[in-house]
Structures are given as structure tokens and as C-alpha cells.
Amino acid sequence: MDSLEAVSRFGWLTRDQIARLLWPASSPGTREKLGNRLLGKAQEKGLLLRRVIDGGGSAYVLRPAGAAFLNGFRPSAAAKSGLDLRLGNVRHRSLVNNILITQMLQGAQVWTEYEILTRRTPPLMVAGKVPDGAILQIDDEGAELQWIEVEAHSRKRADFEALCQFIQGSLAAACRGPYQISERVYLTGLSLYFAEDHLGATLTHRLSRVAEEERWPDTLQDAIELYRAHQTARGRWDGLEQVGTLLFPPENWRGRRLSATESALTERVRRLSAELEQLKSRASKVEAPPD
């Protein structure tokens, strides 16, 4: 039941990811044996389907019978069949899954990207984007949410502009006081996870350029946490570590020079931000009552 619910929450998982969740204290060899046995039985019973993923390896999704079986015993799971599920960018999603699993094993409550996209959480959309996942601290007053962004490939212009808009809008507001991003859900910070050092250095430098131009306060820059994730090309997980914040990035990320294209994209964000501030200023003057 736990393995079915895990697959239901993430959409799809590899054998290693399922085994890490179910038997975290066991050795890798033991987890492999237990995982093979469990998944073999689940496939024999028609509960899970094995799908080959790009680059090699396998992912497991719920069959209709698996979703019905899980919902019969755990209705709150709201499980859905994954037969028609698009696996998406496998490298990115695998990295996201491993990061959230690590947080879960450390005792954190999380929302997965799949749960957010299938509307099993309060709506989370800012600047036309949703997080890759969320880490939560929940009490009687609501939930404090750490927004997760994972960098497995170079970020495109539109994604970078949306990220800057999110930082300058919602995250900046959260740094000034309680900010409700959804009903009883309060944004507290942003965590950026990088698959490789050069990705971290590039995005950190681009954000730092905008932060300098726009004079982001130290509290805002310090609310952007930087992490390095360790995962092999075939999805083997080797842990993660926090390496700093945007205010205090790793030393070897500071001197990274941007390419001409990256510089142009950063300059575009700076111009758009300046134009937005001008529009806000004009609007406030128009709305101001006469003396």
C-alpha cells in the first residue's frame, strides 16, 4: 500500500526511489532485492506497470486496478491511473523526485509537482508557473511553504523572466511579512537545486546581476537558498548539500562570466522590471486624489 501511494503522489517512480522510501535504513544491495521482490508481485497482480524511460532504466506507474485498489483502502490518496501519463523530462523529474524523497526521509512534509498539477493541493501558480515541489511546515494556523525550483538544464528566457517576476513579487512580499500564496498557505522562501556546478554558477550570476541592478534587499537575496544535488546520468542518487544563498553564493560561482546570449537575457529582464516600475509609478499618480 505504501509503494502504491508513493507512486500515486509522484506520478511515476523508479525502483530505486520506491526502495529508498520504503527501506531507507537498509543497504543499497538489500533495498535492490526487496524492491525487485515487491515490484515483481505488484506487476503480477496487475497493480503497477513498468515503462522504459529515455536513457535506460524503468519507471513504474499505477494501472487502473492499482489506483482502484489504493483508493479502496486509502480514499484520501485520490489515486489516478498512470497508463496515459506523460513522463515528461525524465532527467528533471527524476532529480525533483529524489530531492523530495530526501526531504521526506528527513521528516519534512512535501507536495510533489504531480500533486500540484493534478489539483490535489491548494492552487499554487505565480507568474504563470508552479513550483517543482514544495516543502511544508504545517500547524493549526496553516502551512508555511518553501518553493522549490530544480535546474537540470540551462534555463530559457521565459523561465528566467518568470523566476525574476516571482522573486520580485511574491518572494519580496513574503520577506516583508506574512504572505498568503493560497488559502492558509504562506510563502517563506525559495530553494534552488542544481544538477551541476556550471548550472548553479550561471543562474546565480544572472540573478545577482538583476539583484544588483534592481537593488534587491539583503533579506530577499538571503531567502533564496542554493543547493547542489548529486545524481548520476542514470538517476542514481548520492545526496544533496546546501552551498549558500544568493547573498552568499559559493566562491567558485561568483566569478562566472556570462555568454553574450545570457547577458542579453539578463539585460532584458532588467529593462522589463524598469518598465514595470514606471507603469506602477504612473498608475499611482493617476489614482492619487487631488490636493
Give the residue with greater pLDDT, 53 vs 255: 53
Output the pLDDT for position 201.
Answer: 95
Amino acid code (one letter) for 243: V
Q: What are residue 144's DSSP bridge partners?
A: 137, 186
At residue 288, the pLDDT reads 56
Report pLDDT for 87: 86
**pLDDT band at residue 57, thresholds of 50, 70 and 90?**
confident
The predicted-structure confidence for 215-265, as pLDDT tens digits, reads as follows 999 999 999 999 999 887 666 788 899 999 999 999 989 765 555 455 556
Q: Which of 208, 213, 184 has its CA nearest to residue 274?
A: 213
Tell me how far CA of residue 96 lies from CA of 33, 74, 112, in angstroms.
Answer: 24, 25, 8
What does the alpha-carbon distance between residue 104 and residue 114 come to, in Å, rounded to a whole number?
A: 16
pLDDT tens readout for residues 123-175: 999 888 999 999 999 988 899 999 999 999 888 899 999 999 999 999 999 99
Q: Is the pLDDT of residue 24 over 60?
A: yes
Residue 260's pLDDT is what?
Answer: 47
Contact 273, 160 (CB under 8 A): no
pLDDT category at 16 given cuts 50, 70, 90 is very high
Ranges of beta strands (E only) in 32-90 are 48-52, 58-62
What is the pLDDT averaged over residues 171-197? 95
CA–CA distance, 61 with 183 (Å, rounded to integer)? 31
Q: Is 86 exposed, middle or buried (0-12, 13-18, 19+ CB in 10 A)?
A: exposed
φ/ψ bin of 142: left (φ > 0), alpha (ψ from -120 to 50), beta (otherwise)? left
The predicted model gives 27-53 an average pLDDT of 95
pTM of the model: 0.84
* CA nearest to 182, candidates 129, 138, 142, 234: 142
Q: Output the CA–CA distances (angstroms, integers) from residue 157 to 167, 208, 254, 259, in the order listed.
A: 15, 16, 21, 14
